[in-house]
A and B are shown apart, each in its own frame.
Chain A
Amino acid sequence: MARAGGITNAVNVGIAVQADWENREFISHISLNVRRLFDFLVQFEATTKSKLASLNEKLDLLEHRLELLEVQVGTASANPALFNT
Chain B
Amino acid sequence: MAVPVEEAIAALSTFSLEDEQPEIQGPAIWVSAEPGATNSPIEYSDVSAYRLSLSEDTKALNQLNTLIQEGKEMGSVLYTYRSCVKALPQLPESMKHSQADLYMETYQVLDLEMSRLREIQRWQSSAASKLAADMQRFSRPERRINGPSITHLWSMLKLLDILVQLDHLKNAKASIPNDFSWYKRTFTQVSVQWQDVDTMREELDDLQIFLSTRWAILLNLHVEMFRVNNVEDILQVLIVFAVESLELDFALLFPERHILLRVLPVLVVLATSSEKDSESLYKRVKINRLINIFKNDPVIPAFPDLHLSPAAILKELSSYFQKFSSQTRLLTLPAPHELPLKEAQEYPRQYLIVNHIGAIRAEHDDFSIRFASSVNQLLLLKSTESADAEWCKEVKGNVYDMVVEGFQLLSRWTARIWEQCAWKFSRPCKDAVSLEANEPLGSCSDYEKVVRYNYSAEERKALVELVSYIKSTAAMMQRCDTLVADALWETIHAEVQDFVQNTLAIMLRTTFRKKKDLSRILSDMRTLSADWMANTSKSEPELQSLQPGGEESKGNFFYPRPVAPTAAQVHCLQFLIYEVVSGGNLRKPGGLFGNSGSEIPVNDMKQLETFFYKLSFFLHMLDYTATLVTLSDLGFLWFREFYLESSRVIQFPIECSLPWMLVDHVLESHNAGLLERVLMPLDIYNDSAQQALVVLKQRFLYDEIEAEVDHCFDIFVSKLCESIFTYYKSWAASELLDPSFLFTLDNGENFSIQPMRFTTLLKMTRVKLLGRTVDLRSLITERLNKVFRENLEFLFDRFESQDLCAIVELEKLLDVLKHAHELLSKDISIDSFDLMMNEMLENISLVSYSSRLASQIWSEMQNDFLPNFILCNTTQRFIRSSKVPSVPVQKPSVPYAKPNFYCGTQDLNSAHQSFARLHSGFFGMPHMFSMVKLLGSRSLPWLIRALLDHISNKISTIEPMIMGLQEALPKSIGLLPFDGGVTGCMRLIKEQLNWGKKSELKAEVLRGIKEIGSTLYWIGLLDIALRELDTTHFMQTAPWLGMIPGADGQIMQAQDGGVSPIVNLFKSATTAIVSNPICASPMSFHTMAKQAEAADLLYKANINTGSILEYALAFTSAALDKYCSKWSATPKTGFIDITTSKDFYRIYSGLQIGYVEESVQMSSPSHEVLGDSVAWGGCTIMYLLGQQLHFELFDFSYQVLNVAEVEGVSHTHKNPPSLQGWEALLEALKKARRLNNHVFSMLKARCPLEDKTACAIKQSGAPLHRIKFENTVSAFETLPQKGA
Contacts and interface: CB of A to CB of B under 8 A. Distances in A.
Interface of A: 1-10, 13-14, 16-18, 21-22, 24-25, 28-30, 32-33, 35-40, 42-44, 46-47, 49-50, 53-54, 56-58, 60-61, 64-65, 68, 71-73, 75-76, 79, 82
Nearest to A76: B846
Given A6-B51, A7-B50, A46-B21, 10 more contacts: A2-B521, A3-B146, A17-B528, A28-B563, A33-B8, A36-B482, A42-B30, A53-B766, A72-B846, A76-B845
A35 B485 CA distance: 10
Nearest to A61: B829
Contacts of B88: none
Contacts of A37: 9, 12
B563 A5 contact: no
A7 B561 contact: no
A58 B765 CA distance: 14
Interface string B557-596: 0000111101000000001100100011100000000000
Contact of B765 (A10, A21, A28, A54): A54
B1048 interface: no
Contacts of A73: 846
12 contacts: A3-B53, A4-B52, A14-B530, A21-B563, A24-B566, A25-B561, A38-B30, A38-B31, A39-B30, A44-B17, A47-B19, A57-B781
Contacts of B527: 7, 10, 13-14, 17
A38 to B, nearest CB: 6
B15 interface: yes
Contact of A32 (B486, B517, B773): B486
Nearest to A27: B563
Contacts of A21: 531, 533-534, 561, 563
A13 to B, nearest CB: 6
Given A10-B523, A46-B19, A35 B31 contact: yes
Interface of B: 5-6, 8-9, 12, 15, 17-21, 30-31, 49-53, 144, 146, 481-482, 485-486, 489, 517, 520-521, 523-525, 527-534, 561-564, 566, 575-576, 579, 583-585, 765-766, 773, 775, 777-778, 781, 829, 831, 835, 838-839, 844-848
Given A5-B576, A32-B482, A18 B532 contact: yes
A60 B19 contact: no
A50 B766 contact: yes
A8 B524 CA distance: 10
Q: Which 10 A-B pairs have the closest CB atoms?
A: A5-B521, A75-B845, A2-B517, A53-B765, A4-B579, A76-B846, A5-B524, A21-B531, A47-B17, A25-B563
Nearest to A83: B847
B585 A25 contact: no
B17 A43 contact: yes
Contacts of B561: 21, 25
Nearest to A42: B30
Contacts of A38: 30-31
Nearest to B516: A2
A4 B50 contact: no
Contacts of B844: 68, 71-72, 75
A53 B847 CA distance: 37
B765 A49 contact: yes
A17 B585 CA distance: 29
Nearest to B33: A35
A53 B143 CA distance: 68
A5 B530 CA distance: 15
Contacts of A13: 49-51, 527-528
Given A4-B584, A17-B527, A75 B848 contact: yes
B584 A71 contact: no
Contacts of B520: 2, 5-6
B51 A65 contact: no
Nearest to B49: A16
A20 B482 CA distance: 23
Contact of B9 (A4, A18, A22, A33): A33
The secondary structure that dominates the A interface is helix
Contacts of B585: 1
A52 B267 CA distance: 59
A69 B479 CA distance: 47
Contacts of B777: 53, 57
A29 to B, nearest CB: 7
B485 A44 contact: no
A57 B17 contact: no
A3 B521 CA distance: 10
A31 B20 CA distance: 30
Contacts of B19: 43, 46-47, 50
Contacts of B778: 53, 56-57, 60
A24 B566 CA distance: 9
A15 B50 CA distance: 11
A61 B825 CA distance: 12
Contacts of A14: 527, 530, 532
B18 A47 contact: yes
Nearest to A43: B17
Contact of B584 (A1, A18, A33, A42): A1
A38 B51 CA distance: 38
Contacts of A36: 9, 12, 482
A2 B51 contact: no
Nearest to A82: B847
Given A7-B52, A82-B847, A1 B835 contact: no
Q: Give the interface centre of B15, B523, B564, B846 by most chain A CB atoms within 10 Å.
A: B846
A21 B489 CA distance: 12
A64 B766 contact: no
Contacts of B144: 3
Given A21-B531, A56-B778, A64-B835, A4 B521 contact: yes
A28 B564 contact: yes
Contacts of A8: 51
A40 to B, nearest CB: 5
Nearest to B15: A44
Contacts of A60: 778, 781
A9 B49 CA distance: 10
A32 B52 contact: no
Contact of A33 (B5, B530, B566, B583): B5
Contacts of A75: 844-848
Contact of B576 (A3, A4, A49, A71): A4
A12 to B, nearest CB: 9
B717 to A, nearest CB: 16
A50 B763 CA distance: 10
Contacts of A53: 765-766, 775, 777-778
Nearest to A57: B829
Given A28-B564, A50-B19, A53-B766, A7 B534 contact: no
A75 B846 CA distance: 6
Nearest to B536: A22
